[in-house]
Each structure stands twice: as structure tokens, then as C-alpha cells.
Amino acid sequence: MDCSYHNKILRVNLTRGTIAVEEPGAVQLRRYMGGWNIIADVLLREVPAGADPLGPHNKLIFAPGVVTGLAISGASRNAIGGKSPITGGFGASEVGGSWGAQFKRAGFDALIVEGVATNPVYLWIKDGEVEIRDAAHLWGKTTKETQTLIRQELGDDRVELAMIGPGGENLVQYACVMSGLKDAAGRSGLGAVMGSKRLKAVVTRGTQGLKAADPETIQAMARRAAKEVNDGTRAAWAHTAGTGGTSLEGGILSGNMPIRNFRDGEFPEIGGLEYVMDKIGVKMEGCWGCAVRCKKVVQAESPYPVDPDYGGPEYETIGSLGSTCGVSDIVAVSRASELCNGYSMDTIGTGVTIAFAMECFENGLLTLEDTEGIDLRFGNSDAMIKMVGKIARREGLGDILADGLLPAAAKIGQGAERYAVHAKGQAQPMHEPRLKRGLAIGYAMSPTGADHCHSLHDTALVYPNEEGFVQSADLRGMGALEAMDLDDLGPDKVRAVIYDTMGKVLQNCLTICFFTAWSMRELADMATAATGWDVGEYELLKVGERALTLARVFNMREGLTVDDDKLCPRSYHPTQGGALAEGGIDMEELREAVHTYYGMMGWNRETGAPTVEKLQELGVGWASAYLPR
């Protein structure tokens, strides 16, 4: 029977130079669906407890989902995972572009990379054939140089690369894996894991096609989505200018957009970062097979050159390299974004780390001697751009900052930890938990550290529809019915957070893009049409819950405890001026919400450990053997 999966997991051992293919079976693939679940399974079963994230025993997993590679909006994504060098726990990040679709169409459902190559290598995967090739001539190259050279070497401009630049090679802790030049698997430091294995790129080309079990349903859904995008009823906000591409003033006025390392509440200069496409836009592009086309492409000559081949800055980048650093020049932000893509560094991690250093500098914890003469003050565009390069090359202060927020704070000393804005060591994204208390729970409970993509943005819960229900159809469908205040940290908010997170993590398993706004019912129909299985909505929620719970088991095995389920000190205090001038989170209220979260998840309410019965209910009872005794 035709279906969207191959029952083939590729395993490459770089130490031994071996290549193998495993067949997990339909039951395993249906239980996991791909993405996070495959990553968590491999990490628990195969990575020894206490393994160095940058050592030979960690594994790097590329995990598309069962719908990846189908010609339908949002289905180009794949997840990448490993033990995170940032948190020491579960690491996962998702990315769009074209690589995931090409990999699936080359004949595989996942890739496990283990061991360490003696010399730099890249993998070449085409239509079921796999080679390990020399990459010594590529080491030290930017992602654009790498892509150009490999396409020339293979004689094919249509091959797709998942790759690293100098940031990954130099083990910058928040290095990312780039899918092409414009799409980043940004969080968890997986580019550093890739660099530690001396793996420069995974290159793929798939010409086999991918047949759904019910292609007519997939085609009908794809056509409907494209029509709805065109008529403005689906993802209209993303189609015109992407994230952060229009007015940002509302984010400043509400307190959502961070200013000067999450310290301040006012930023009159925000106009310099708004309406990117009107100022330097070239065109809008999209991921493989997607009608939404939400990705900006920008170009500039002055005051900084900006290469359109690297795309353009989205909201997180505009916030992290812009307002968080006090920078209001969109060309400067776009130049820094280009450099991050070329070096393969997470723009959130890079921007927040530079903002941390700027606050240290302004408070005398760092001096001009430490910065080698760089006036590292908030608002200095030149200084911000220079620091991006110094971090990637590990030069001077950049070498300290490349180790991540908490290690850098420890080396700087003098109480620098109070300026590090993070959860579990991972830099906080550009959405403020002091405004959205559901987001505060999400950041505290995220298995990967602070992450806005699988946490509830509870501004959507404030205003009821005409019937008095919450606006979100998916939350209504799961039983979270009533509107609630932004600052609510009670049981109803916790329940909404759990439902929302399960749904988002599910999409990180399938793997499908949030921006395409497929409902839970549509996702069940899509998965059924793709695989031929009779997939239900309840089953899909359990897929997300299973992934969250396995990630929790891995984190606890690696030594993370209830003491790590919290926010950084800054989040418990108000901003200086602005909408959140009285907006600090109550630490005890958040702690109680976290323990309520444990209980609702079927975890021990005091320790946060998933119970044996909960693991058995999720069909992964074997994982109880990995819980601390």
C-alpha cells in the first residue's frame, strides 16, 4: 500500500565509517509519528547518562514526521535533536525550508548520526544511497560558501543542505543547524553538537516522490489551504510581511517586546525596526510546497551590506538583535541576521547574549580592556555586529560569550548572573512572560529551556467570542472553554497551557508548521490520508503528551529537577518604566502553578517525575527504568 513513510531509519557511525538501515515497524512509527518522540527514544535508549553533549557518546538525530514531504502547506519541516550543550538535557529544534522534504523523498524516515569523524566530513544522501565524503576543504567556510562548493562538486543546484558554519565548528553553545541559507534549527545548540562530530553538512536529493495512502484527500486539503491563503482567511498575517514585518509599536506598548536585555519598558526608537519590507524588502518566499510564503528577503548597501541570499529577519531576530540590544536600525539587524545565518548561530541566543554583555559593560562588570576597545553599549549597532563575528570565531570576549549565558556569567563574575535572561540556561525568546503568565509556565516547564514555539501565548485567551468561549478552536475542542486574565496562574490557566503545549509538541512530531493553522481535526485527517492509519484527534494529543513525558524522563535522568523548573531572577521583577513597570511574576504563585502542572500531567506532584502508571498509559512503560531511583 502507498503511504507517506518508508519504515527506514538511517544510522551513520562516523567513528567507524559505517552506514546501516533499520526498520522500526508501523506500530513504532504510529506511536511516535516522528520528530520529538524519535529524538527522545534515541536519547534515552542510546545516549549514556551523564554523556558530554559535545563528546562522542551524544547522538544527533534528524527526524521528519509522517506527513513531511507531502505536497501540502506546512509539511516541509523536520526536527533535529540531541543532548543539548546549553541545558545538559533534552535538545530539539524544528526547521522549515526544503531539506526535510528532500530527505523524506530520498527514502528515509530519520537519520541517527553517532560517533566522531577523524577529519571533517559531509553525508551525501540520494534516493536511498548514502556516502560519507571528505569535507576538509569546507571546514571554516560560511554556509553560503559551503552550499556553493557542494553543489558545484555534485553538479546539482537542487541538492539541499543541513549544515553548519564557523559557529558550529567552533562549538558556540547556541550554534544552530542551517537548512539552506535562510532557515535555522535555532534552539538547543545542535549546531555545536554537529560541529563536535566534525560533520559539516548532510546533503540530500530525493527524486522518488512520496505517495500518500489517500492522495486525493491530501491534494484537496492542499488546494483548499492555498485558496484560503489567497483569499486571506488562512495565515493572512504571515503572507504579507512575515513575523515582525509590520508595526511593532503594540508589542512595546503592551510590554511584550523586550527592550535592553528585558530591563526597560520604553523604546521610542521602535519605528526604525518596523515595516521591514517597505524599507529594504525584495520579495516574500516560502518553504517547499507551502502556499503561505511567510519569509522575508531583504537587501541593502548602506550603512551595512545585506545579502538577499540569506533571507531576512523575522520577529525573533528583530527583537533579539534589535530592541533587546537597544538597536533601532533595521539594516544593522539584517546584517547581523545574515552573519548569524552564515556562521550558523541562533539569532535569539546570539542577541540575548550580546544584550547581557552590554548590560554588564554599562554596569562596569566588563571594561574596554575586556572588549578590546569595543564600546559595548546598548544601541551601538557597530558593536553588536562586531560581537557576532567575535563570538563565531571565539575571539577575545567572544570566546567567553560563546559558552552561553550562565557559563559566561560565571566567568565574568561580580554578580553577572542577575543579568542573564534564560530558562534552564537557554536564552529567553522575544515574548515577555511578565505579560503572559501562561508563557511563564511554558518557559519554566519547557524541556528544552525557554521556547516560545511550544508554549502558550495566552493573549489569545483574554477575549471571548460572541458565545463566551475562548477564541482558539483547538483549545475549545480540548475543553479549555472560558476566557481568563493574562496574569492568571490558577488551575484553569495551567490546564490551558498543557492542552496547548501538547498540541504544539504534536506538530513537532508530525512534523508540520504552526503558521499554516491546521486544526486538530484537519491534522487527524491529514495523518490518516498520509499513512492509511485511522488516526484520531485523541490519538494525536497522546502523541504530543508522550513526547513531553519522554523528554521529562530524559531531563530527570540527566539531573534536572524541580529546582530547574523556574524563570531567571529578572522575570520576578518589573521593568524600568513601560507597561510592565509593576509586572514582576510572583515566585510562589508560579511555583504552585508548576506543581499543579505536574499533577495534571500525571507526574509526581512534588518531584515532577512521571509515574510508572502514566508511562504505561502512554505505551512507553519501558522508560520508567531511566527515572532516578
Query: Percent of the chain having pLDDT more than 90?
Result: 93
The residue to which cell 551524544 is assigned: 58
d(CA 574, CA 554): 34
CA dihedral of residues 608, 612, 615, 616 (deg, nearest 10):
-160
Phi, psi torsion values for 260, nearest 5 degrees:
45, 70
Answer yes or no: same fold for 9-205 and 235-427. no
Q: What is the pLDDT of residues 89-112, one digit of tens each?
A: 999 999 999 999 999 999 999 999
d(CA 263, CA 573): 9
d(CA 152, CA 318): 33
Q: Say what the pLDDT of residue 2 is.
A: 85
Q: Give the three cell numbers for residue 473.
A: 478552536
Q: How far is CA 202 from CA 102, 147, 160, in A?
A: 11, 11, 8
Q: What is the pLDDT of residues 570-592, one digit of tens each?
A: 999 999 999 999 989 999 999 99
Q: How confident is the model at residue 1 (pLDDT cuts 50, 70, 90)?
A: low
- Neighbour count for residue 613 (Cβ, 10 Å): 11
Average pLDDT, the chain: 96
Q: Is the dihedral of CA 180, 181, 185, 191 positive or negative?
A: positive
**Domain residue limits, the chain:** 9-205, 235-427, 437-626
> Residue 375 pLDDT > 70, yes or no?
yes
**Residue among 161, 234, 226 nearest 199 (CA):** 161
Average pLDDT estimate for 140-155? 98
> Residue 207 pLDDT > 70, yes or no?
yes
Average pLDDT estimate for 498-517? 96
Q: Which neighbouring-strand residues pair with 420?
A: none
Angle at 281 between CA 278 and CA 283, to 5 degrees: 120
CB within 8 Å of 243: residues ≥ 6 apart: 294, 314, 315, 316
> Are 563 and 94 contacting, i.e. CB atoms less than 8 angstroms apart?
no
Q: What is the pLDDT of residues 27-75, one digit of tens each?
A: 999 999 999 999 999 999 999 999 999 999 999 999 999 999 999 999 9
Instruction: Look at 475 and 345; give whichever has higher pLDDT.
Output: 345
| 124 SS3 class | strand
**Residue among 295, 310, 181 nearest 242 (CA):** 295
> Are 526 and 537 contacting, i.e. CB atoms less than 8 angstroms apart?
no
End-to-end CA distance of the chain: 45
d(CA 567, CA 492): 21
Q: Give the three cell numbers for residue 220.
A: 484537496
Q: Say what the pLDDT of residue 461 is.
A: 87
CB within 8 Å of 60: residues ≥ 6 apart: 80, 81, 82, 112, 113, 114, 190, 193, 194, 197, 199
Q: What is the pLDDT of residues 230-264, one digit of tens each?
A: 998 888 778 889 999 999 999 999 999 999 999 99
- Return the CATH fold of 9-205: Aldehyde Ferredoxin Oxidoreductase;  A, domain 1 (3.60.9)
- Return the CATH fold of 437-626: 1.10.599
> Are 298 and 334 contacting, i.e. CB atoms less than 8 angstroms apart?
yes
**Residue among 464, 429, 4, 386 nearest 208 (CA):** 4
Q: Say what the pLDDT of residue 327 is.
A: 98
Tell which CATH architecture fits domain 235-427: Orthogonal Bundle (1.10)
Q: How confident is the model at residue 509 (pLDDT cuts 50, 70, 90)?
A: very high
Q: What is the pLDDT of residues 441-484, one digit of tens each?
A: 999 999 999 999 999 998 888 888 888 888 888 888 888 888 89
Q: What is the pLDDT of residues 520-556, one digit of tens each?
A: 999 999 999 999 999 999 999 999 999 999 999 999 9
d(CA 283, CA 350): 26
CA dihedral of residues 393, 399, 404, 409 (deg, nearest 10):
-160
Average pLDDT estimate for 300-317? 98
d(CA 306, CA 327): 16
Q: How confident is the model at residue 557 (pLDDT cuts 50, 70, 90)?
A: very high
